[in-house]
Structure 1
Amino acid sequence: MRMELRPDIAAAPKVLLHDHLDGGVRPQTVIELADATGYDALPAKSEAELGEWFRTSADSGSLERYLETFAHTVAVMQTTDGLFRIAMECALDLAADGVVYAESRFAPELHLEGGLSLEEVVETVNAGFRAGEVLAAEQGKPIRMAALLTAMRHAAKSREIAELAVRYRDLGVAGFDIAGAEAGYPPSRHLDAFEYLQRENAHFTIHAGEGFGLPSIWEAIQWCGADRLGHGVRIVDDIDVTGERPVLGRLAAYVRDSRIPLEMCPTSNLQTGAAASYAEHPVTLLKDLRFRVTINTDNRLMSHTTLGAEMQHLVEEAGWSLADLRWATINAMKSAFIPFDERLALIDEVIKPGYHALGVG
């Protein structure tokens, strides 16, 4: 059972920038799609047991077991029916959590085993998001969904996926992402893709500063030109906290001064060892130093979390206030990859009034 949210946190409008589509599938959906497609390698057959398996595997400390969890979700995302349903349910689940804007990322190259083309994958996921938006609005929980197309660091399709993101940028795709193991696969290996995106005036974020340290962040920003940092938690390695006041190194100062958004994912970082506890998670230090911090879920299934739960952990264990959550939410909306006027409308017409109704702002 997921965390029961305080009424004020449940009601707060939320913005989500870092959420993986294949990491947020409902356990029952995995079971039903496995049955429909003949996939027989699931480690459990009931919704409760499978959900628990995903959570404990992600908590195990074993990278191999953690990666195995995605093998099962991706396996049932190889058909148009599976992709459409999972995208639609993603929108509904996020809307039920109070998310008013979300960017959901997925790697089209991982969904080709059933014979789909890259274009069919993108179009099917986008159709699922649109269907979810309609159903959520009918339920009184309006949400705006946008897709981010992810390329895998260890593969050789980054330029092709970047071109796909540009081709579909007026059709539901807001930007590009690159993910996968950081160590041994620096973002600079994919400069061709990033330079293409810059020439096309396209937005992109880069997973950096999670599994690898400051060099990963430096390359993502200074070599590749990332608009945002996926995680970026290791930027604290460039902040000296031994004195009376924190002292920022050159890279940390650049990230803060340039207002480069950090897509922070507290629970995920606890699972991977990037932080020891919610109370000690660097996100609070970075908030206090006024980096452009945003709060995210990463993989809702594997982390057994929601955006509301991430926020409540920070309130209950790290001393955050509703005003802090409002600030981080506006940060996220400012940092979204949709046009400025659309971002401003959501801030002024949805987020600020929503927090005002809770007595904040």
Structure 2
Amino acid sequence: MTTAPDDLLLPNGRGNITRLPKVSLHDHLDGGLRPQTIVELADTIGLDLPASDATSLGAWFADSADSGSLVDYLKTFDVTTAVMQTTEGLERVAREFVADLAADGVIYGEIRWAPEQHLTRGLSLDEVVEAVQQGLDAGVQDAQNGGHDIRVGQLVTAMRHADRGLEIAELAVRHRNNGVVGFDFAGAEAGFPPSKARAAFDYLAAHYFPATVHAGEADGLASIQSALVDGRALRLGHGVRLAEDITIDSTDDEATYVTLGVLSQWVKDREIALELSPSSNLQTGAIAAWGDDLIDHPFDLLYQLGFRVTVNTDNRLMSRTTLSRELALLSEAFGYDLDDLERFQLNAAAAAFLPVEERQELAEAISAGFEEA
């Protein structure tokens, strides 16, 4: 599912989640394709697919991604990236991506993707960034023509195993005035800490360019520490395993005491945003230490303790989800109401890679939209 239904309501029936203004910070371009688009683009380049029709293909992605392993989860991207190797393919995917965000009530979205994975048909790094931006611009214009105000920005991603971090950091900075708002570091997490791409992060810091780093998803606290220290991350991509640094003790009189470790206290005190993606975290086994159902996710623990939690989709195709659906699932699991959902959006607005004045305008638009709900 890539377009949101019209009837995602809070459990108490108060508030249509789909129509609420939302901010999306962690959403992969190559994880948000429409199955029908994949079928059509694959036909133009002669690519064999695991299924020939859109419905079956969508089911294949969801089933394959629900593996309990980030490594296996990532294998599904071999199919999506294969149809994103031409200017036409990149532009179409980016344009539809914005349309689907707009249909889900998103008013600001940061769209992450790795240009280095889209060069097999002769395009250069700069050409693929430009193609995606053309598609995003067209999508924004389409949305505006349909009466929906949406802004988007690119997060240019370096794949941690490919050792091209500095080159991709330079690419991101080169396009900072052409739609790129930040840098991301992603891919197989264990064994590839940000410390191995120190030159890239030094370059970004020297050019005052913000970074988010995937950490605390498929690896633990050392990975998060490296993201903050070596990667100078302003946000943590997922970061769910930060909860490993939180100790909960119960006494005989049924009192409960919570103790934060040095790392988790640092993240909380500096309001470093956690880009949590509930459905994806279940699929990849990121919350296996706590359980295998949404109610086991440490999202609520982190929220109640005052961390800057945000709600994200990660990959809408693989998780068959939307941002509205993620919010609905959390509301059902933890009893959240409109005030909670508004807080998640305000957290995301505060963490967006935008100038402070624009973040404030975004926050005002969110509050106004929730007041009307």
- Is TM more than 0.5 here? yes
Q: Equivalents in 1 of 2:281, 2:344: separation in Å?
A: 18
Q: Which residue of 2 aligns with 1:30?
A: 38
Secondary structure of the residue aligned to 1:129 is: helix
AA partner of residue 196 (structure 2): R
Q: Which residue of 2 aligns with 1:11?
A: 19
Give the count of matched residue pairs.
356
Q: Equivalents in 2 of 1:101, 1:31: separation in Å?
A: 28
Contact 1:278 1:318 in 2 (8 A): no
Q: Equivalents in 1 of 2:68, 2:346: separation in Å?
A: 34
Note the aligned Cα RMSD (angstroms). Answer: 1.2
Secondary structure of the residue aligned to 1:85 is: helix
Name the CA shift for 1:112/1:281 in 2 (closer, same or farther; >3 Å).
same
Q: Equivalents in 1 of 2:224, 2:70: separation in Å?
A: 22
Q: Deviations over 1:204-250 (max 9, x none)?
A: 10000000000000111122211110000000000001231211111
Secondary structure of the residue aligned to 1:181 is: coil
Q: Which residue of 2 aligns with 1:181?
A: 188
Runs of 4+ in structure 1 displaced over 6 angstroms?
Answer: none
Q: Which residue of 2 aligns with 1:311?
A: 327
Secondary structure of the residue aligned to 1:171 is: coil
Q: Equivalents in 2 of 1:310, 1:224: separation in Å?
A: 28
Q: Deviations over 1:76-105 (max 9, x none)?
A: 000000000000000000000000000000
Q: Deviations over 1:171-194 (max 9, x none)?
A: 100010010111111111000000
Name the CA shift for 1:63/1:175 in 2 (closer, same or farther; >3 Å).
closer
- 1:1-361 aligned at under 5 Å gives the runs 5-6=8-9, 8-40=16-48, 42-61=49-68, 65-243=72-250, 244-275=256-287, 276-348=292-364, 350-358=365-373
Taking structure 2 as the reference length, what is the TM-score of the superposition? 0.93
Moved more, 59-68 or 110-119: 59-68
Q: Equivalents in 2 of 1:62, 1:266: separation in Å?
A: 15
Q: CA deviation at 1:64?
A: 5.7
Name the CA shift for 1:231/1:166 in 2 (closer, same or farther; >3 Å).
same
Secondary structure of the residue aligned to 2:185 is: strand
Moved more, 338-347 or 115-124: 338-347
Contact 1:280 1:318 in 2 (8 A): no
Q: CA deviation at 1:65?
A: 4.5
Moved more, 66-75 or 283-292: 66-75
Secondary structure of the residue aligned to 1:145 is: strand
Q: Which residue of 1 aligns with 2:253?
A: none
Mind listing any 5+ residue stretches in structure 2 that lack a counterpart? Answer: 10-14, 251-255
Q: Equivalents in 2 of 1:63, 1:274: separation in Å?
A: 8
Q: Equivalents in 1 of 2:359, 2:64: separation in Å?
A: 37
Q: CA deviation at 1:342?
A: 1.2
Q: Deviations over 1:107-138 (max 9, x none)?
A: 00000001000000000001100100000111
Q: Equivalents in 2 of 1:323, 1:240: separation in Å?
A: 28
Q: Equivalents in 1 of 2:187, 2:16: separation in Å?
A: 36
Q: Equivalents in 2 of 1:68, 1:215: separation in Å?
A: 25
Q: Deviations over 1:264-288 (max 9, x none)?
A: 0000000011232221211111110
Q: Equivalents in 1 of 2:277, 2:56: separation in Å?
A: 25
Q: Equivalents in 1 of 2:43, 2:75: separation in Å?
A: 19
Q: Equivalents in 2 of 1:60, 1:278: separation in Å?
A: 16
Q: Equivalents in 1 of 2:208, 2:70: separation in Å?
A: 36
Moved more, 116-125 or 319-328: 319-328
Q: Equivalents in 2 of 1:170, 1:308: separation in Å?
A: 30
Q: Equivalents in 2 of 1:245, 1:300: separation in Å?
A: 37
Percent of matched pairs sharing the same residue: 54
Q: Equivalents in 2 of 1:192, 1:64: separation in Å?
A: 26
Mind listing any 5+ residue stretches in structure 1 that lack a counterpart? Answer: none
Q: Which residue of 1 aligns with 2:12?
A: none
